[in-house]
Amino acid sequence: MAEELLDKITSKKLAEKVPAEKCWAITAKALTKLIASRVHLTRPQFGEGDGIVAPVMGWEKYQEIQEKIFSEGGMKFIPWVKETFNIPVEDAIGAAKLADVAGKLTTGSESEGKIVEATPERSVLRSTGCAYWERHKESGIAPELSSCPVACQAYFEDGLKAVNPKILFKLTKSFLWGDPYCEWVFEFNEE
C-alpha cells in the first residue's frame, strides 16, 4: 500500500502537475532565500559582533569580498544572457533592456522593472519589486547591514562592461537606502 502511494507521488509526477509559472516562482524564491541566508550567516545582522565572517575580518573587508563575488558573477552571467537572448547592447537602451532581463532571470517573478527614461546616451531602469529586498525584510536583516547595494553595483557594472566597455552603470536609489524603489542609470560613453 505504501509503495503504491509512493509510486503515485513521485517528484516528477508532482512537478508535472505544478504550472511552469508557479514552479518558476517557487524556485526563484528558494534561490533568493538561500542567498539571503548565506549573507545572514556570514555578516552581522543586528550589530558589529553578530554574524560569523564579517566580525572576524571587519565590515570593509567583508564588503570588498562581496563586491568581488558579485562582480565575477555579473561578468559571467550578463554576457551569457546577452548571447542567449540575442539582446543588442550598442547603447544605453540596450544596456537597460539587458539588465532588466538579467535581473528577472536572477530573481524571478518578484522582480518588477520599468524603463522610465530611454535615450541612446542615457537610460533609467526603476525596480519596484526585488526578491532580495523581500528576503531581507522576511529575515529581519537591517538595511544598513546589507551588502545589496555594493553587490548590485558590482554585478551590473562589471557584467555590462564585459558586454560593452562603453556602458557606464550606476545604482542611484535603493530600497536599502530608504528609497521607494531601486534606480539604475545606464550611460553610453562614446570615448
User: pLDDT tens digit string along 160-184?
Assistant: 999 999 999 999 999 888 899 999 9
Q: For the whole model, what pTM was predicted?
A: 0.76
Considering the domain 12-188 in this protein, what is its CATH number? 3.30.1380
Nearest to 50 by CA among 137, 152, 138, 141: 141
Domain ranges of the chain: 12-188
Phi, psi of 82 (to 5 degrees): -55, -50
Least confident of 28-37, 97-106, 144-153, 167-176: 28-37
The 10s digit of each residue's pLDDT in 115-158 is 999 999 999 999 998 888 887 788 777 776 677 888 899 999 99
Cα 171 from Cα 174, distance rounded (Å): 7
Q: Is 190 helix (H, G, I), strand (E, B) or coil?
A: coil
DSSP state of 145: G
Contact 184, 74 (CB under 8 A): no
CA of residue 133 relative to chain centroid, distance? 10
- Cβ contact 30:131 at 8 Å: no
